[in-house]
Chains A and B, each alone.
Chain A
Amino acid sequence: AQSVTQPDIHITVSEGASLELRCNYSYGATPYLFWYVQSPGQGLQLLLKYFSGDTLVQGIKGFEAEFKRSQSSFNLRKPSVHWSDAAEYFCAVGGGSQGNLIFGKGTKLSVKP
């Protein structure tokens, strides 16, 4: 079955510390992978996406993610977190011919001063 797992429901990091949010997926075909961020009461903003090629992808706001096929993972990283990064982060997987994405349940990030 196709699924996305984000093992961490809530993470708290100190401002300036590094961040890694985990995402594991199960998908029968070649996956297209995405990370979205959602602030409270807002829509989803695309941070980055992976289709093919270089397995390390760069996104907006200083985020990057690495696709590891052997581990079925697509973890999101940021070297130095800012207070404005506090939000909920969603990993999603889809296929090129599929219209819909499958989302994880999200990881809520809190940033302490």
Chain B
Amino acid sequence: GENVEQHPSTLSVQEGDSAVIKCTYSDSASNYFPWYKQELGKGPQLIIDIRSNVGEKKDQRIAVTLNKTAKHFSLHITETQPEDSAVYFCAAPVNTDKLIFGTGTRLQVFP
């Protein structure tokens, strides 16, 4: 079936360094790719999304890149801070309607 693969499952970085999380998807018709951040005891919160008509989108320290040919997209966080520590999920639509989520990346930023 359709799925979304996410790597790495855990990521530890020093404060100020960059973090990159990668996802691949299988449905070539997918055209919307959101990223969510989940903090302990909370629901996933949308932090950035990208549509297939652009290759990159940036919002302050967060950026997402999309390669439709290779069917993968990545989240980039620059100048990481301890408050960036959380679990991050990518997602992609299947059959144009429901989202399939990746397995999550636990990011730890050490001061």
A, B co-complexed: no
Chain B residues near A (Cβ < 8 Å): none
